[in-house]
Every structure is written in structure tokens, then in C-alpha cells.
Structure 1
Amino acid sequence: MSAERLPDTDAGTGIGTGSVIRLSDHQTARGRQGGGDRPPVAAHDDTPSPELDLAFTAEAMYRARKRTLTDPATEEAFLIAIDTVALVLRGAAAQGVVDDDQHKILSGMLTNMQNTARLL
């Protein structure tokens, strides 16, 4: 996979600030088995989807830092971070910072993020 970064990038993250990262030459699913007790994600057919776009964007962000979500240790750290964000989100819902509908939407987004590494 290659990612073409647009000009104005944040030196810390390597991602476009106020811009979009254009992704090209996407790799298809590697047929990797799911890690740990997580079920594998069904193979995809390269049809563009928000989930696949998210996977390629996340991978481009990791590659900008010389890492990859296809590395099991990096994937595990990524999932720990998502679990932490989910915990914060549950706390926000419990405190009334987000309502039930917002919590449901954001939780769904986090679930999609959990599947990101397995789509690569």
C-alpha cells in the first residue's frame, strides 16, 4: 500500500492537517486469522467501503511512524488503545456527557476500528 500525503502535514503524526490522505495501490485482505479470541473478519472484495477506507487510513498513519498494524504487537497495542477509548466513552455516557444515541454511534465507530487491522 502506498499513501500520498498532501502538503501541510503535522510533523508529529505525518498526517495531513486539515487535509485528506489519498490512498492508492490498496492491498487486499491478507486472509489473516483473527488475533486471540477475536473472530476473523470476512474477506472483502476490494469494493470501497467506509470500513476499508478506515483500515487503509489507519495503516497509512502507522506507516508514517514506521509501524504497521499487520505486526501482531502493534495490532495489540492498537486494540488496547481502542479499549481505553471505549472505557472513556462509557464513562462519558454514564456522566451524561453523551446521550444514548451518541454513545451507540460512537461505540459502533470503535467497533469498526477494532476490525481495522484484520482488514489489511
Structure 2
Amino acid sequence: MNSLGLIEVVGLVGAIEAADVAAKAANVKVLDYELTRGGGLVTVKIVGEVSAVKAAVDAAVNAARKLTQVISFIVISRPSEEIKKIIMNEKEESVKQEQEIKEDIKNEEPIEKKVSKDETKKKIEVK
């Protein structure tokens, strides 16, 4: 990662527009997006060569401003290893949590199977 671009906007639609324009404007990779807690803010993360990220962020900000409020944006040239760890760990944690939720849903028994036959008989007898 030679350069990191971050664009923070209000709402998912503006963030998707920003990500789409950034990806089309220059040779960059849209790494991820992050929903903040409360306020409806969304941060789009872009990586690539410094000049490409600058061009992509500029184009994305201009496009997003037509739809929503752009809160902030920045291009970090040669981000430190610590910043890389933060950005990559957030993505890995997000993917890990999503996989765990999918596994929980897949492994969950239907409600009917959770109640044993004995419990059903007891409930009927009580009535």
C-alpha cells in the first residue's frame, strides 16, 4: 500500500457513489467501507499509488458532494505500518464477524426441534 485515501460522507448512497467514481477515475483499489456508530457516516477506504489515490479521492469527493455531505477526506502517502495494521485488522475483524454470524445461522436448529417430545406432552397435560 503506497497510499491510503479516506473519504467520509453522510449515508451509504453517497459512499457507494464515491467508491464507484474513485475506482473508475484512477488505477486504485477500493479496499473497504466502514459504517460509523450513529450519525449515518460512512468512510470509504482506497489504496494505490500516491498520484492515483489523489486523483481518485478528488473525483470521488466532487461526485459525492452532488448527492450528500462530505464530512472529510484525506490522502496519506506511505502510511506507517501501524496505520496499515489498523486498516487491515478492521477489515479482517469485519470479515471474521460476518463469517461467525453466517455459521451461527447455518448451525441453528429450527424452533420445532428445540422443544423435545416430552416437553410438548407436559405442556398439553398442563392445559
Name the TM-score, length of structure 1 as normaliser.
Answer: 0.34
- Compare the two structures and name the one with the higher helix fraction: 2
Name the TM-score, length of structure 2 as normaliser.
Answer: 0.33
- Please identify the structure whose Cα radius of gyration is greater: 2
